[in-house]
Structure 1
């Protein structure tokens, strides 16, 4: 794991940032956006595979997560901040990468909740992206839109800073389970590492205020109107496990998103890995997934 540096956002939040650099020439940059109840430091193995092929990699601990939570508070956007500030953070890091590596292709990869952040970011600020990769994506999820009024009511009742349970139902399909997080991967060592990480899982739940903002973002970014805002010609790669409860049975919610993107005229490549669960880069077939990612990325380099 690389040591983080820190950058200060416009609203004063202190954001932890990790960088992984190739030994030689930078062929392209790739910005990673992690998921809920985890942090950017978990992506070291993937970053090593990318840097070995000439990609410079950068990632933030999102607001409310990892070392950034020391500034914003755990599971919170930060005082006065909203989901729009999360998108601003992604935009600002992307701009720094573009400034540091002018003329080099720039890719954006989001995992899980980070896939929705990456998608919304590409819709709002995606000009100049060479490609968008969504791992463990949520897809078209009307049930999340349905939950927003309840979450907003909890916030209005004064529970905005109270923790909410956002993950436990994902394990239902795997009961009787060895851990509460068997839904993440078939690789028991990877699940155990997640459970043992003090910056992951039940140790860092989102608050109702965070949930209200992010559920609205998730639901809003996967509509025909929102997808229409993606840059024309943007290539998209979707990577899902067949048994990932986040993307629906057999990745049905993700396929619905792929259909919206194709209707938009975009080039979409979708992989659904048999029997794989949520964290495809930490799955038993992770070498296959990483190879598919690298092949897709390199096919889009000049």
Structure 2
């Protein structure tokens, strides 16, 4: 694993972790991390991807990771919110694609990263060979509307960068309900107690984010589940949805099924859904992680073999 720093389109420093394969790369696999975590947590999975010949990249989100911590900006987002994160994803991919032209691009997003990846697929999906969606969720319904009103009000009253314990409780407080009595606030992420304890002890994980961050998260989730994004996802793009059967982000499978149904209903021809019984949110860090990783890697192999050649520079329509 190496880390390089790129200049983002707005001039900011963008840290990108890379894992290079032995020999010639077969393509670029881009990992998009979730919220309240950072790219290095995907090291084990990225190593497996690299062992199968992929050049793996994972850009650190604004407001996440070591650089944000050093700057006192953990849990904060830039003025352009999730749109800036999408631009950062593009900048990272395009930098490496310039040296690896005409090779397949596989986009892999987890949790918040899954919503970003789904939205990116609507913009640039015709350039992709496959989309892998981990730990995603469906439409929020009335709860999302209430949350957006609260986040907007808090942002106006307290400012974009004020840590919002209220929004944190509203967003994540109910997630442990299915796992009571819980040892920690984060039992919902995995059945593996060591993973949970490491997450709790990690100063880069699980922080209370800013009012602006929660507002942008809700906007992103609404966008990813919108009819516009569903319709703009290319019909020929293979999509693999992988989630825990007890993941609260995915409504214990219900929300993930909704996403699969809506993608198919809007013309996406190849949508595969895998739910792991009993698994929680971070399926790459679950007790059955070896099976999960193998399933995803095999799915990518099959999808790339059967996917039509992506159109270089094509825009999604």
TM-score, with structure 2 as normaliser: 0.89
Residue 16 of structure 2 is matched in structure 1 by 17
Q: Is the 8 A contact 2:9 2:91 kept in 1?
A: no
- 1:145-184 equivalences under 5 Å are 145-164=145-164, 165=168, 166-184=171-189
Residue 236 of structure 1 is matched in structure 2 by 239
CA distance in structure 2 between the aligned counterparts of 1:148 and 1:155, rounded to whole angstroms = 10
Q: CA deviation at 1:61?
A: 1.3
Q: CA deviation at 1:301?
A: 3.1
Q: Is the 8 A contact 1:62 1:68 kept in 2?
A: no
Q: CA deviation at 1:180?
A: 1.3
Residue 4 of structure 1 is matched in structure 2 by 3
Residue 259 of structure 1 is matched in structure 2 by 261
Q: CA deviation at 1:160?
A: 2.2
Q: Is the 8 A contact 2:61 2:85 kept in 1?
A: yes
CA distance in structure 2 between the aligned counterparts of 1:139 and 1:207, rounded to whole angstroms = 23
- How many residue pairs get matched? 297
Q: CA RMSD in A?
A: 1.6
Q: CA deviation at 1:72?
A: 8.0
The one of 181, 190, 196 equivalent to 2:195 is 190
Q: Is the 8 A contact 1:13 1:72 kept in 2?
A: no
Q: CA deviation at 1:167?
A: 2.7
CA distance in structure 2 between the aligned counterparts of 1:131 and 1:63, rounded to whole angstroms = 25
CA distance in structure 1 between the aligned counterparts of 2:219 and 2:146, rounded to whole angstroms = 9
The one of 287, 290, 294 equivalent to 1:287 is 290
TM-score, with structure 1 as normaliser: 0.93
Q: Is the 8 A contact 1:137 1:247 kept in 2?
A: yes
Q: CA deviation at 1:225?
A: 2.3
The alignment status of 1:200 with 2:199, answered yes or no, reads no
CA distance in structure 1 between the aligned counterparts of 2:134 and 2:145, rounded to whole angstroms = 21
Residue 301 of structure 1 is matched in structure 2 by 304
Deviations 1:105-151 (A, max 9, x none): 10001000110011111112323011111101122222324411221
CA distance in structure 2 between the aligned counterparts of 1:82 and 1:281, rounded to whole angstroms = 27
CA distance in structure 2 between the aligned counterparts of 1:24 and 1:155, rounded to whole angstroms = 50
CA distance in structure 2 between the aligned counterparts of 1:72 and 1:114, rounded to whole angstroms = 22
Going from structure 1 to structure 2, the CA distance change for 1:72 and 1:229 (only over 3 Å counts) comes to: farther
Q: CA deviation at 1:221?
A: 1.4
Q: List 4+ stretches of structure 1 deviating above 3 A.
A: none
Tell me the SS of whatever aligns to 1:4.
strand
Tell me the SS of whatever aligns to 1:245.
coil
